[in-house]
């Protein structure tokens, strides 16, 4: 059986180093804490050699202040810098410095959580729009909340909506299906891939093209659209965070290798290459599932006694009406779905301990269709009395 990477004694030094690096100022509180993938912490244990063999002792930032690829120094920017350093040296750009540096950047990376806690969100939104409009390429990893998507470059009349990682349901094994062939996803070697995803898009620009979809819900988790003379690749991936936490996969390594080349960047000779996968036939996009399901919450970290609100979503991708039965927390519900229709159930409950909400879906004949679970963490405030 393939062995998972073993910890090296220097691993502890690495985590101490990444912890002690200068932190980005943040007003974060319990209302917006939590890492991506926090609701499914153990999935990577089942992937075996599909995981990229991260060597933590070899990780160090590869910085070049003149590099054509830049990582925003916000959110998990340090992790993104380490990840893209696998392929080539990168530059790190501060929020306020983007307008002055944008003309010398070809690809700008917004790391996981990079659109939260900005000093001036509106000014940064304008800078992002100008960067793409003038011909830049923007890649965006998963964000904390769907409301963060409002900072994406958008044409008048367009909008983008969805769920961030503190609302969405994470997935990893065979998590994403190919929605269409596109240079940005040319590195994938299977129509269904192991990708670290947390969140999804439910509304996107009129010229947006879904590239990858959640394999269970059918909703986009990566999409591309043109804006001015440039382009935006928006995703629900959190590969940047996953890499130094031993969760990045070979599918992700191959995906970003081709994406960077498509962006016109030259990779270092030491960039990772996967030699054990040979394929000749072009990949074909997968059709939407017959039915789509997802479970979201308004957060993933609650104080004891707070009310957690869950949204249970159902999509009917068929041309016929469907009647489904949904069960959770000891209750059952019948849901009518018109052809190509959508329905949502809402469940609110006070929470006092860390657990998961389990949801079961059955069809008209009560034949089992799908089980989903949504995890959340409950914390107890420190007693301030002396």
**Exposure b/e, 300-323, CB count within 10 A at least 16 = b:** bbbeeebebebbbbbbbbeeeebe
Say yes or no: 87 and 224 in one domain: yes
- According to the model, what pLDDT value does residue 59 have? 87
Say yes or no: 50 and 167 in one domain: yes
Using one digit for the tens of pLDDT, what is the confidence trace for 300-332? 999 999 999 999 999 999 999 999 999 999 999
- According to the model, what pLDDT value does residue 254 have? 96
Say yes or no: 218 and 314 in one domain: no
Quote the number of domains for the chain.
Answer: 2
- According to the model, what pLDDT value does residue 41 have? 54
Q: Kindly write down the DSSP assignment for every residue of 192-256, as one continuous string.
A: EE---B--EEEE--TT-EEEEEETTT--EEEEEEEETTEEEEEE-B-HHHHGGGT--BHHHHHHH
Say yes or no: 196 and 321 in one domain: no
Containing structural domain, residue 367: 291-379
Q: Is position 273 within any domain?
A: no
Using one digit for the tens of pLDDT, what is the confidence trace for 239-280? 999 999 999 999 999 999 999 999 999 999 999 987 765 556
Helix, strand, coil % in the chain, rounded to nearest 5:
20, 30, 50
Kindly state the tokens that stand for 243.
């890499």
Say yes or no: 134 and 221 in one domain: yes
Using one digit for the tens of pLDDT, what is the confidence trace for 28-45? 344 556 789 877 555 776
Question: Which of residues 262, 278, 306 is at a domain's end?
Answer: 262
Q: CA–CA separation, 256 vs 253, rounded Å?
A: 6
210: CB partners within 8 A, 6+ apart: 179, 180, 201, 204, 220, 222, 223
Using one digit for the tens of pLDDT, what is the confidence trace for 190-230? 999 999 999 999 999 999 999 999 999 999 999 999 999 99
Which residue, among 90, 143, 128, 92, has the nearest Cα to 232 in the 3D structure? Answer: 128
Q: Is position 286 within any domain?
A: no
Q: Which residue has the tokens 């390594």?
A: 253
| Span of 130-139, 144-153, 278-287, 366-375 with lowest mean pLDDT | 278-287
- CATH code (residue 304): 2.60.40.10
- According to the model, what pLDDT value does residue 283 have? 87
Q: Is position 174 within any domain?
A: yes
pTM of the entire structure?
0.89
Say yes or no: 222 and 300 in one domain: no
Say yes or no: 251 and 303 in one domain: no
- 223 bridge partner residues: 210, 234
- CATH code (residue 224): 3.40.50.880
- According to the model, what pLDDT value does residue 277 have? 59
How many Cα atoms sit within 13 Å of 197 on the Cβ side?
Answer: 28
Q: Is position 17 within any domain?
A: no
Residue 249 · residue 194 · CB < 8 Å: yes
Q: CA–CA separation, 110 vs 123, rounded Å?
A: 15
| φ, ψ of residue 46 in degrees (nearest 5) | -100, 5
Using one digit for the tens of pLDDT, what is the confidence trace for 154-192? 999 999 999 999 999 899 999 999 999 999 999 999 999
């Amino acid at each position: 059986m393939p062995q998972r990477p073993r910890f090296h004694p220097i691993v502890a030094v690495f985590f101490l180093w990444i912890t002690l690096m200068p932190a980005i100022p943040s007003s974060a509180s319990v209302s917006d804490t939590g890492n991506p993938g926090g609701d499914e912490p153990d999935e990577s244990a089942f992937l075996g050699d599909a995981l990229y063999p991260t060597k933590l002792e070899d990780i160090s930032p590869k910085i070049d202040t003149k590099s054509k690829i830049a990582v925003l120094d916000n959110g998990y920017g340090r992790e993104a810098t380490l990840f893209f350093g696998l392929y080539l040296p990168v530059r790190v750009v501060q929020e306020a410095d983007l307008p002055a540096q944008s003309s010398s950047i070809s690809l700008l990376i917004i790391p996981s959580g990079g659109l939260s806690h900005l000093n001036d969100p509106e000014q940064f939104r304008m800078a992002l729009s100008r960067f793409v409009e003038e011909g830049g390429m923007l890649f965006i990893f998963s964000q904390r909340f769907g409301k963060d998507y409002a900072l994406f470059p958008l044409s008048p009349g367009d909008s983008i909506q969805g769920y961030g990682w503190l609302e969405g349901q994470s997935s990893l094994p065979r998590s994403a299906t190919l929605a269409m062939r596109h240079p940005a996803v040319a590195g994938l070697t299977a129509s269904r891939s192991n990708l670290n995803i947390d969140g999804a898009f439910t509304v996107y620009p009129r010229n947006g093209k879904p590239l990858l979809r959640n394999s269970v819900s059918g909703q986009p988790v990566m999409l591309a659209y043109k804006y001015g003379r440039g382009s935006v690749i928006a995703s629900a991936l959190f590969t940047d965070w996953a890499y130094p936490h031993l969760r990045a996969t070979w599918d992700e390594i191959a995906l970003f290798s081709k994406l960077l080349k498509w962006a016109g960047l030259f990779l270092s000779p030491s960039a990772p290459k996967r030699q054990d996968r040979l394929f000749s036939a072009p990949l074909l996009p997968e059709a939407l599932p017959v039915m789509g399901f997802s479970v979201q919450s308004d957060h993933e970290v609650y104080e004891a006694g707070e009310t957690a609100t869950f949204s249970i979503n159902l999509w009917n991708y068929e041309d016929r009406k469907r009647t489904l039965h949904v069960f959770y927390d000891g209750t059952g519900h019948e849901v009518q779905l018109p052809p190509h229709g959508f329905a949502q159930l809402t469940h609110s409950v006070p929470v006092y301990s860390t657990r998961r909400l389990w949801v079961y879906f059955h069809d008209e004949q009560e034949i089992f269709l799908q089980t989903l679970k949504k995890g959340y963490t409950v914390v107890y405030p420190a007693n301030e009395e002396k």
